[in-house]
Amino acid sequence: MHHARDAREEKAHDAGGAVRRLMAYFRPHRLALAAVGLMLLVGTLLQLAAPYLIGRAVDEFIVAGDRRGLAMTMLLLLGTYIGAWAMSYGQFYTMTVVGNKLLLRLREEIFRRVQALSLRFFDEHEAGDLMSRLTNDVDTIGQVLNVGLVQTLGSSLTIVGIVAAMLSLNWRLALATFVVLPFMFAASILLSGRARRAFRRTRRTIGSVSADLEENISGVRVAQAFAREDENIERFDELNRANRDANVSAQGIVAAFSPTLDVLSTVGLAIVVGYGGYLALRTPPLATVGILVSFIVYVRRFFQPIQQLAQLYAQLQSALAGAERIFELVDTLPDLEDRPAAVEMPSIEGRVVFQDVSFHYKEGEPVLRDVSLVAEPGQTVALVGPTGAGKTTMVNLIGRFYDVDEGAVLVDGRDVRDVTRASLRAQMGVVLQDTFLFSGTITDNIRYGRLDATDEEVVEAAKLANAHAFISRLPEGYQTELSEQGRNLSQGQRQLISISRAILADPRLLILDEATSSVDTRTELLIQRALERLLQGRTSFVIAHRLSTIRNADQLLVLEGGRIVERATGTPERSAHEQLLDRAGAYYQLYTRQFRPDERARAAPPAGDDGHRVQAVPAQ
């Protein structure tokens, strides 16, 4: 996956296209930009007037000894500097407001796109890299928009103005000074391509660093459990060094600009003094001392904006590389979209049918093969089988998180591809094995199941899920703030809140991936009773890990290698579980390996040397 992405990002990018895309975001702010442009123009003219006034003061007032004229000129010079400062402040303030509005819109577009992409996209892309695009790349663009863009335009306008002013004052001296310009442009062209490629590498490597950092922070418990801290540190150091080397390379290329411009600036100043002095000493003189002084100031200011542009070049190149990565994400089309003729899913009764369904994640590696089943409204269908058998894939197809390759999945006789995903999923509830809670209060997390629920309904859902008792014992009760992913609660407590959320949603279809994590016997009993209430009266598909769920299931399906190898439907006389045990087939083998030892473990918890129950460590 890493190699594929690297190859994709090494291709040539369209810098002009990225600039045009960014410019399109400015259209709603045309008036503000016009004001910035006007302030830029006025500010530049005021800055250009200063050297002219200094030269005039030398020729007309200092040489002539006119103190009053000199004083008036100095007051006028002070006014130009104050006016230039005011214009500069107005430019940067206005541009900061516009730039932050643009960044707000850009972040919103990225987030909307991420929310619209299917699970397949997230299977193939690291969360840390996506976070890097949303934070680091956007921030890099923000630095240019808030400050760099105004400075770039202002510097460019100043250069043009200085050229015009120098030509109008003395075209001979101006042309002699411009001898250094071809060398400046040659240096810029030579270094620009290398700098752009280098900054593209920096954006890619910081994405890899962010991805590895996010992964290791999320998995720190696993790393510590397996004593893999040193290996993780070594891998992170490798990625971090790659990012450091990319940044050093990029900054090294940019750093070559400043010495080059310093040399050219010195050469230009020497030309002004030498050739300008020659013109002033001729008879008749072709240049005055005042013009010579003005040229010295202009030349110093001429290379000043060029040096600013060189310093901004790094930001500009980095921002363009970041913009390309952002637009690559924004332009990513979801592989799952509602069909043009899709209709709203009416109120679901709960009949689910799989018709000869086949599916694969990777070409040539089928995960499901010719799967067919019928679940009647209100039935509980338990899915059992070894890891990788296709259980999770089956339940994901019901909510159309993926599209089938062959066959169809029907809900109440409607192909899930013919209804809008939002209307289908709004009537589904999902309880995942890895319980995910959001930062916020317990009330907020339960209300996530139905955002318009009242506080009383939230409490009632918690009572039905057997979560009310432990929540009430917390110092802040339902207003207890949860840390990231609810880690300040136990695994069992997180499961109970997740079940509360599903009860509040009151879905017609329920997807339940039972947790395998070991919890204490009392919490296990609370979870079991809560699940029994949750499953009542709704069609449920359960990836079963609890023997109690399997025994009470209306249908029991055994999956191996993407196929249903055994199935049974319970009757009043015999449960599906008992029927499959009698057959002594695949389910019997699975039961004796997995569920029967689990049943014994629950009946007689193992004890350590100190007499306390040994906490099982789940397989990773």
Quick one: pLDDT at residue 204?
77
Q: How far is CA 417 from the centre of its chain?
A: 28
Beta strands in 282-351 (DSSP E): none
Same domain, yes or no: 153 and 199:
yes
| C-alpha span between 469 and 97 (Å, rounded) | 50
Its domain, for residue 96, covers: 2-330
SS3 sequence of 193-262 = HHHHHHHHHHHHHHHHHHHHHHHHHHCHHHHHHCCCHHHHHHHHHHHHHHHHHHHHHHHHHHHCHHHHHH
Tokens representing residue 484 in the block: 């990231």
Number of C-beta neighbours around residue 114 at 10 A:
19
Same domain, yes or no: 497 and 519:
no
Same domain, yes or no: 545 and 574:
yes
| C-alpha span between 279 and 288 (Å, rounded) | 8
Overall number of domains in the chain: 3
Please report whether residue 615 resides in a domain.
no
Please report whether residue 336 resides in a domain.
no
| C-alpha span between 15 and 196 (Å, rounded) | 9
Residues of the chain below pLDDT 70? 1-15, 188-189, 191-193, 196, 218, 220-222, 224-226, 257-258, 307, 310-311, 314, 515-521, 594-620
Q: In what order do the strands lie in the sheet with 365-375?
A: 365-375, 352-362, 406-411, 414-415
Final residue of a domain: which of 462, 481, 506?
506
Please report whether residue 152 resides in a domain.
yes
Same domain, yes or no: 389 and 465:
no
**pLDDT tens across 353-406, in order?**
999 999 998 888 899 999 999 999 999 999 998 888 899 899 999 989 889 999
Give the gyration radius of the chain's Cα atoms.
35
Quick one: pLDDT at residue 413?
93
Quick one: pLDDT at residue 564?
94
Are the beta carbons of 163 and 269 closer than 8 angstroms?
A: no
Same domain, yes or no: 221 and 84:
yes
Please report whether residue 479 resides in a domain.
yes
Please report whether residue 184 resides in a domain.
yes
| C-alpha span between 600 and 129 (Å, rounded) | 45
**Residue type present at position 152:** T
Tokens representing residue 183 in the block: 């060398």
Quick one: pLDDT at residue 218?
67
Please report whether residue 620 resides in a domain.
no
CB-based contacts of 10, cutoff 8 Å, min separation 6: none
Number of C-beta neighbours around residue 206 at 10 A:
24
> Sign of torsion, CA 375 378 383 389?
positive
This prediction has a pTM of 0.64
> Sign of torsion, CA 136 138 139 141?
positive
Same domain, yes or no: 368 and 312:
no
| C-alpha span between 34 and 30 (Å, rounded) | 6
Are the beta carbons of 519 and 618 closer than 8 angstroms?
A: no
Quick one: pLDDT at residue 221?
62
Q: How far is CA 364 from CA 43, 174, 357, 367, in A?
A: 65, 71, 16, 10
Q: In what order do the strands lie in the sheet with 539-543?
A: 428-431, 509-513, 539-543, 380-384, 555-560, 563-569
Comparing CA positions, the residue from 572, 543, 571 lying closest to residue 559 is 543
Same domain, yes or no: 230 and 259:
yes
Final residue of a domain: which of 277, 308, 330?
330
| C-alpha span between 213 and 231 (Å, rounded) | 13
CB-based contacts of 435, cutoff 8 Å, min separation 6: 486, 491, 494, 495, 497, 498, 515
Q: Let me know the angle formed at the C-alpha of 361 by 356 and 366, rounded to the nearest 5 degrees.
A: 50
Please report whether residue 596 resides in a domain.
yes
Same domain, yes or no: 13 and 99:
yes
* CATH classification of the domain holding 16: 1.20.1560.10
Please report whether residue 569 resides in a domain.
yes
Q: How far is CA 265 from the centre of its chain?
A: 43
**pLDDT tens across 111-164, in order?**
888 888 877 888 777 777 777 777 778 888 887 877 777 877 888 888 888 888
| C-alpha span between 524 and 517 (Å, rounded) | 10
Strand partners, 513: 543
Q: Let me know the angle formed at the C-alpha of 228 by 222 and 233, rounded to the nearest 5 degrees.
A: 115
Same domain, yes or no: 54 and 111:
yes
Same domain, yes or no: 514 and 465:
no
Quick one: pLDDT at residue 605?
42
Same domain, yes or no: 53 and 187:
yes
Final residue of a domain: which of 330, 361, 390?
330
Same domain, yes or no: 19 and 85:
yes
Beta strands in 465-592 (DSSP E): 481-482, 509-513, 539-543, 555-560, 563-569
| C-alpha span between 405 and 388 (Å, rounded) | 18
* CATH classification of the domain holding 501: 3.40.50.300
Quick one: pLDDT at residue 193?
63
Quick one: pLDDT at residue 220?
67
Tokens representing residue 10 in the block: 């090494």
